[in-house]
Amino acid sequence: MALIDTIRQAHARRFGRPPAVVAYAPGRVEILGNHTDYNQGFALAAAIDLGVSLALSPAGDASCRVQALDIPEEACFDLPVSTSVKQPLWVNYVRGVVNKLCAFGRIKTGFQATFAGDIPMGAGLSSSAALEIAVALALARLYDIPVSLLELAKLCQAAENDFTGARCGLLDQISSLFGQDHALVFSDFRTLAVETVPLAAELCFLLVDTCVKHSLVASAYNERRAQCERSSAFFASVLDHPVAALRDVSQGELKAYAARLDPTTARRAAHVIEENARVLAATRLLRSGNVRAFGELMYQSHHSSQTNFENSCPELDFIVAQAGILPQVLGARLSGGGFGGSAVLMLQTGEASAVSQTIASAYVRKFGHTCTTRVVRPVAGARVL
């Protein structure tokens, strides 16, 4: 892989020796299950063939130096790490992982690190989680720290929550770690059970990046999460069974009690409750080979993001509407936190080029600037190389 060779060589040039450990973590595409992870619900996602690679060497003292090739920029800090920093913001993903990993074992000395990726920043493909996981895998290997994959996912989530302020769930980390070739990752975010669901070999996903950049910290992500928590607390107060999260509320119960919520909070709850039902139905459809019906649920999910969760944007809505006109496209929706980033289209590999050209041409006519299209396929999860 060219990315691996690039960071190996850059690391050796900068630090005067080859890396002791190299780790790779893929990005992810969310297929169904929008904002369900922190509501203890369900999701279908895939690790994709774009990712972040990180090279690591031990240092002789407590200093840690991290070289980010893509920016390009370098940051330095000393152990131990207890807080985030104001600048550069990206180093907080590394600092957070260092802090959380110390609960599992001792990071004996400082380190030198070099990383780069081919995930477009801000495209909704979880470049941040890929960086966190690559750092955690490499450090755990270098310092012989025992940590399971689920523990690693949770510590990376905690690092992002506490060191960047984004109250993300576990979707990104689990998808990157548990990906498999030609399969989607089904996650139950209450039990943390993870299964893979095979995807037909002729299917692929076309990502259409709006080039509208988002930041989960600066966006309304945290506001949406707070609204979900308020609605969950309401249902816990009126239903005669335990409600720990919106996952515990049925569609019938939503219908019966929604009028007692303020309209905005009711819409947020409706999105999550109905999205969980869509994921479960879609998983059954995919296992039975009914990809057309599966794709229709993707369209329904996007409509809910528009009207109920309001985490779409005009550019994403336009792409999904254009996809709906094209018979080659089996399904389409926004992917990830929303408020910008990418739409994901499901189609047969042989149709991708024509669909990409059609949508890109329509997009530039509508908005006066280009979008970026790329075909991605589900791949194996993160690993030490």
3-state secondary structure at position 201: coil
CB 64 within 8 A of CB 78: yes
CB atoms within 10 A of CB 242: 7
CB 138 within 8 A of CB 145: no
- Report the distance separating Cα 91 and Cα 84, nearest Å: 8
CA distances from 81 to 223, 231, 354 (A): 28, 36, 50
Token duo for residue 336: 């990830």
List the alpha helices (DSSP H) in the chain. 2-15, 91-101, 127-142, 149-164, 171-178, 221-238, 251-257, 263-288, 291-304, 314-325, 352-367
* Side chain identity at residue 43, one-letter code: A
- Specify whether 78 is catalytic: no
CA 120 to chain centre: 13
The rounded radius of gyration (Å) of the Cα atoms in the chain is 21
- Report the distance separating Cα 93 and Cα 100, nearest Å: 11
CB atoms within 10 A of CB 191: 8
For residues 256, 258, 259, 263, the Cα torsion angle rounded to the nearest 10 degrees is -160
Which among 246, 243, 241 is positioned nearest to 225, based on CA atoms?
246
Catalytic residue among 37, 49, 172, 248: 172
Phi, psi of 270 (to 5 degrees): -60, -40
Largest CA distance in the chain: 67
CB atoms within 10 A of CB 124: 30
- Report the distance separating Cα 140 and Cα 102, nearest Å: 10
- Report the distance separating Cα 299 and Cα 22, nearest Å: 39
Which residues are tagged catalytic? Answer: 172
